[in-house]
Amino acid sequence: MDAHRHHQEELRKLQRLQCAVQNYDWGLPAPASRVASLHALNSGLPVDPRRPYAELWMGTHDSGPCYLISNKAPLNTDNNGVAAPSTLKSWLLQHPGALGDSVLDRWGCDLPFLFKVLSVGKALSIQAHPDKDLARALHKRLPDIYRDANHKPEMALAITRFEALCGFVSLLELKDVVASVPEVGELIGNASKGRVLDFNVSDGPDKFKPLLQEVFTQLMSADKDVVAEVVSNVKNRLQAETQVRELTDKELLVLRLEEQYPGDVGVVSAFFLNYVRLEPGEALYLGANEPHAYLSGECIECMATSDNVVRAGLTPKLRDVQTLCSMLTYKQGSPEILKGISLNPYMKRYLPPFDEFEVDHCALPQGASTTFPAIPGPSIFLVMAGRGTMETDSLKEEITEGDVFFAAADCPILLTAETQLQIYRAGVSSRFLSHQ
């Protein structure tokens, strides 16, 4: 076989991946964590029952790279002369054709998306991800904190009931918050409170943005000792009121957040943000500069390849309140919930308005087969449950829960289920690929 043909054969093959796990303290304890069970199956390594398991990373980001574990993967040599498996990133540098021309032209020799599973045991920080210009500036100024120069639009697709705070509530809801939550008034002051209550709704949300930014910045920048006292007052007031009335869902959430992060300004700022609950199979997407915090549950997550986070509340980690408050879009109202577009009886596609990624969910009953057609971009497949086979050209792989595969561009995949099979696929947006 000539070298070119051999190279093409290599590209057509599926590459089996061993993925990175992250044990952030907000993760679920190992026995309850889908991330822990998938990691154990994927890596063959034991889990530590005393540690939280938060994220499984499937991609090429340097903070959690994937390794090729197929027998024929090119081996690198470590400092001791011992053969070590290649990272997916180094394999792509050697096989750029695996990405397809349009992906290579737009993003260079790397995957433009990072695919994850999240197991959320307690609230993540109130945060936003910078757009490209801000990411470049932050990375240049503080490379130890902002690790890359990329933006990070993202999407969370619920696999259990999943809760999040996301985006600012509408102007009407915010007026209600300022009028009825005395502690918010304490933190923003009477003058700001009066300006919000007096603002004419018919002037529209765009005119309100500068005032929303001013008020939210006041809230998030308030003196720590004052905040601690005010958060304690919220808790005491709501606990007393629960004796005489039923608390709202948002008030119950605020009490939960106070238990997790006592004295934290994020507890009060929750009143400013939409409280979203996703059922399994529903997805939430977030553009750059949108405030959010995941609260509980497990999800599939996909994002542009970045790990940049600007935090301002519900966290013991570094906060960058001024950057966060100045970068937000201050868009108001409920976020769009994606329910997936049916591609065939077994498959749904979640297509957010970003070029870097989309996610397909395939639920295949026992004995059934389906095809993922060849596409001009790369994919990563995660076997979430069940057992079956994955076939491309002459290669047939036995697949089981916890397996993760990279598939090159122009590589059709035939799936057959031996038991009921659940697969998630992340790939570059078909909208982007079809316009190239």
Residue with the bigger pLDDT between 149 and 279: it is: 279
154 marked as binding residue: yes
Task: Spot the catalytic one: 311, 319, 349, 431.
Answer: 311
Whether 319 and 351 map to the same domain: the answer is no
Whether 330 and 406 map to the same domain: the answer is no
Task: Output the pLDDT for position 74.
Answer: 40
Whether 333 and 353 map to the same domain: the answer is no
CATH code: domain of residue 380: 2.60.120.10
127 marked as binding residue: yes
Residue with the bigger pLDDT between 333 and 13: it is: 333
Phi and psi based region of residue 367 (left: phi greater than 0; alpha: psi -120 to 50; beta: remaining): left
Answer yes or no: are the C-beta atoms of 128 and 321 closer than 8 Å: no
**For 37, how many CA atoms within 13 A lie in the half-sphere containing its CB?**
12
Q: Does residue 257 lie in a domain region?
A: yes
Final residue before a domain boundary, out of 319, 338, 357: 338
**Residues above pLDDT 70, as percent of the chain:** 94
Whether 317 and 405 map to the same domain: the answer is no
Task: Output the pLDDT for position 269.
Answer: 96
435 marked as binding residue: no
Average pLDDT of the segment spanning 80-94:
79
For 279, phi and psi rounded to 5 degrees?
-85, 155
In which domain, by residue range, is 350 found? 346-434
Final residue before a domain boundary, out of 338, 367, 391: 338
Residues 227-252 have pLDDT tens digits of 999 999 999 999 999 999 999 999 99
For residue 166, pLDDT over 70 is answered with: yes
DSSP 410-423: T--EEEEESS-EEE
- Whether 277 sits among the annotated catalytic residues: the reply is no
Q: Does residue 251 lie in a domain region?
A: yes
Whether 364 and 272 map to the same domain: the answer is no
> What is the total count of domains within the chain?
2
Task: Output the pLDDT for position 11.
Answer: 61
Which range, of 2-11, 87-96, 150-159, averages the lowest pLDDT? 2-11
Residues 392-432 have pLDDT tens digits of 987 899 999 999 999 999 999 999 999 999 999 999 999 99
pLDDT-based confidence at residue 3 (cuts at 50, 70, 90) = low
Task: Output the pLDDT for position 205.
Answer: 87
Q: Does residue 430 lie in a domain region?
A: yes
Q: Residues for the chain: how many in total?
A: 436
CA distance 277 to 284: 10
Task: Output the pLDDT for position 290.
Answer: 94
CA distance 127 to 261: 15
Whether 286 and 368 map to the same domain: the answer is no
Residues 346-355 have pLDDT tens digits of 999 999 999 9
Whether 329 and 375 map to the same domain: the answer is no
Q: Does residue 125 lie in a domain region?
A: no
pLDDT-based confidence at residue 8 (cuts at 50, 70, 90) = low
pLDDT-based confidence at residue 305 (cuts at 50, 70, 90) = confident
For 33, phi and psi rounded to 5 degrees?
-100, 125
Q: Does residue 310 lie in a domain region?
A: yes
Q: Which of 223, 231, 222, 236 is nearest to 183 (CA)?
A: 231
Q: Does residue 65 lie in a domain region?
A: no
Task: Output the pLDDT for position 7.
Answer: 53
Average pLDDT of the segment spanning 163-183:
96
Task: Output the pLDDT for position 70.
Answer: 64
Residue with the bigger pLDDT between 186 and 74: it is: 186
Final residue before a domain boundary, out of 292, 309, 338: 338
CA distance 129 to 150: 10
Task: Output the pLDDT for position 393.
Answer: 80
pLDDT-based confidence at residue 143 (cuts at 50, 70, 90) = confident
361 marked as binding residue: no
CATH code: domain of residue 284: 1.10.441.10
Average pLDDT, the chain: 92
DSSP state of 335: P
The strand order across the sheet containing 67-68 reads 67-68, 14-18, 404-407, 379-385, 421-427, 358-364, 347-350, 341-344
Whether 233 and 318 map to the same domain: the answer is yes
Q: Does residue 186 lie in a domain region?
A: yes
Residue with the bigger pLDDT between 329 and 395: it is: 329
For residue 5, pLDDT over 70 is answered with: no
Q: Does residue 326 lie in a domain region?
A: yes
Q: Angle CA(422)–CA(427)–CA(428) in degrees, nearest 5?
A: 160
Q: Which of 43, 51, 47 is nearest to 20 (CA)?
A: 43
CA dihedral 302, 406, 45, 145 (to 10 degrees): -40
Give how far the C-alpha of residue 280 lies from the chain's centroid of Cα atoms, to the nearest Å: 15
Task: Output the pLDDT for position 72.
Answer: 41
For 165, phi and psi rounded to 5 degrees?
-100, 140
Average pLDDT of the segment spanning 248-262:
97
Alpha helices (H) along 116-181: 132-141, 171-180
Task: Output the pLDDT for position 362.
Answer: 98
Whether 255 and 274 map to the same domain: the answer is yes
Task: Output the pLDDT for position 75.
Answer: 41
